[in-house]
Structure 1
Amino acid sequence: MSTSHSTPAPYRATIIRTLRAAGCVFAEDEAQLLIDAAPDRATLRSMVRRRVVGLPLEHIVGWADFCGLRIEVDPGVFVPRRRTELLAYRAVALTPPAATIVDLACGSGALGRVIADRVDGVSLHAADIEPAAVRCARRNLEPVGGRVYTGDLYEPLPDALRGRVDVLVANVPYVPSAAVDLLPPEARIHEPLVALDGGLDGLDVLRRVAVGAQDWLAPGGHLLLETGVDQVDAALAALAGAGLTPAVTGDEELHATVVIGRR
């Protein structure tokens, strides 16, 4: 039972003021989420303290809203961003019923979960190098029949998937190494560096995914990746260099850019 119905208005107002003073832009919404998630007043106080010192809200309440789904997110696991919803929706649009899906660098498994939720009969596989992410993704994906593997990109995938993947999504890191220190503290302190740092120009991991995609995609299959708008030309060149037919799509409202490679 949450504290939602037992939190007096003055105490709620105090929480909002505390969060606002700590720099939380959406203090009212965050206060309500914390109140709803807390089983008792003592836990609520602890949750507010953790938020004030900079822990991501999603790590505190244990979930993130992504494409209208409640995705479980553990401490130390990359938090799915709203901009990544473009990647999810484009993947859904390209996924036929009963398709074989792979979610690489899956983090919490948010992308794979959205696809499985919206497309009938998919065979879903996911992988991440971080054990904490794998544990979290299994809780999100196993209820919809997904299988989650531990390892670096393609390395842990079953060999039987080679040449059979219809849609491959990979929300790999694309922040240049020199810019990681400029990220908000919530990200750079509380999320794994391997989920943020994309190398010198931010595209090291994207290139590795592109190079391997030909071996895993079925003929006509698609690879989809998120990237920065200033990285589009280099990302498209990486896809073309890997033998894929490249394309790009964006959403100004979400501040999101997705590159797509077709085998």
Structure 2
Amino acid sequence: MFSSSRFSIDLPVLVGRLRAAGCVFAEDEAELLLAAARTDTELAAMLDRRVEGHPLEHVLGWAEFCGLRITVDPGVFVPRRRTEFLVREALAARPDAAVVVDLCCGSGAVGAALVAALGGAELHAADVEPAAVRCARRNVTGTGGLVHEGDLFAALPGALRGRVDLLAANVPYVPTGEVGLLPAEARVHEPLVALDGGADGLDVLRRVTAGARQWLAPGGCLLFETGERQAAAAVEAVERSGLVPHVATSEELYATVVSGTRPPV
């Protein structure tokens, strides 16, 4: 247990306030806040933000993802633990990938994790949100990766056409009518563009599948998350694009990943 003796706010007080605010893992969060804060003033401010409902990752300034510490700025989509399944599926599909694209990259967590596991690859990440682009640059610069601002494929350098081995697209897939049902941490503090997938949640996904083939290398693979009940429609979109579909699920992480592979010839 982390010692709180250097702060005027002690651990039991922290835990009590966090628990009263509805934080399920109040003890763990209190430990993280104590470890992150440098002064009483900073600890009090962090505690207030968390109690007000800000995501813990925004309060701390980072999230753990695939064993990496990913910088997460306020207003940027927080990488979910279930998305680690997307990374695992991508690595299983193309363990030899030399060119990786992280589309709808948010913080750049997926791209950073893929390149770290691959032992180095050419990485391009892209997002339409300026705040996400700034944050992603902080996370992928050390890998030699580049982050581009713009709408999906329009953001990417044309020289990537036909060269991409792994195209990971963490597209929004919450139906518009269900966005209001999301936890306040998400719907209030994360960008709507990273959550709202249109009427059935698949609007952005269909745009990605429609354009993916021309960017993938022969044998290249597109992967994205979707809801379990959306998987059949997502597979249809993949098939219409001329890619070979595959669906994988993780009961442990409650995650569904749909992929589409460009035929090698």
Question: Fold-level match, TM-score > 0.5?
Answer: yes
1:139 aligned residue: 138
Post-superposition shift, 1:71?
A: 0.4
The SS at the match of 2:105 is: coil
- Which secondary structure state, in structure 2, belongs to the residue aligned with residue 54 of structure 1? coil
> Match of 1:28?
27
How far apart are residue 182 of structure 1 and its match? Answer: 0.3
Query: What pairs up with 1:28-67 in 2 under 5 angstroms?
Result: 28-67=27-66
User: Is the Cα contact below 8 Å between 1:3 and 1:37 reproduced in 2?
Assistant: no
- Would the aligned equivalents of 2:133 and 2:147 in 1 still touch at CA under 8 Å? yes
1:163-178 equivalences in 2 (<5 Å):
163-178=162-177
- The alignment's C-alpha RMSD in Å is 1.4
Letter in 1 for 2:108: G
Structure 2 partner of 1:242 = 241
Kept in 2: contact 1:98–1:121 (CA 8 A): no
Cα separation, partners in 2 of 1:22 and 1:120, compared to 1, 3 Å: same
Q: Which range moved further: 93-102 or 105-114? A: 93-102
Could you tell me how far 1:249 is from its partner in structure 2? 0.2
Determine if contact 2:243/2:261 at 8 Å carries over to the other structure.
Answer: yes
* Structure 2, gaps ≥5 residues long: none
What pairs with 1:1-263 in structure 2 (closer than 5 Å)? 6-7=6-7, 11-97=10-96, 99-263=98-262
CA distance in 2, matches of 1:208, 1:89: 24
Deviation (angstroms), 1:92: 1.9
Contact 1:232–1:259 under 8 Å retained in 2: yes
Q: 1:98 to 1:84 in 2, by over 3 A?
A: closer
Give the whole-Å Cα distance in 2 for the aligned partners of 1:166 and 1:97. Answer: 8
The superposition leaves residues 147-196 of structure 1 with CA deviations (integer Å, 9 ceiling, x where unpaired) of: 00000000011100000000100000000000000000000000000000
Alignment partners' CA distance in 1, 2:3 and 2:188: 29
CA contact (8 A) 2:33 2:60 kept: yes
Give the share of equivalent positions with the same residue, in percent: 62
Letter in 1 for 2:228: V
| SS of residue paired to 1:20 | helix
Q: TM-score, normalised by structure 1?
A: 0.96
Q: Secondary structure at the match of 1:246?
A: strand
Counterpart of 1:39, as a letter, is: R
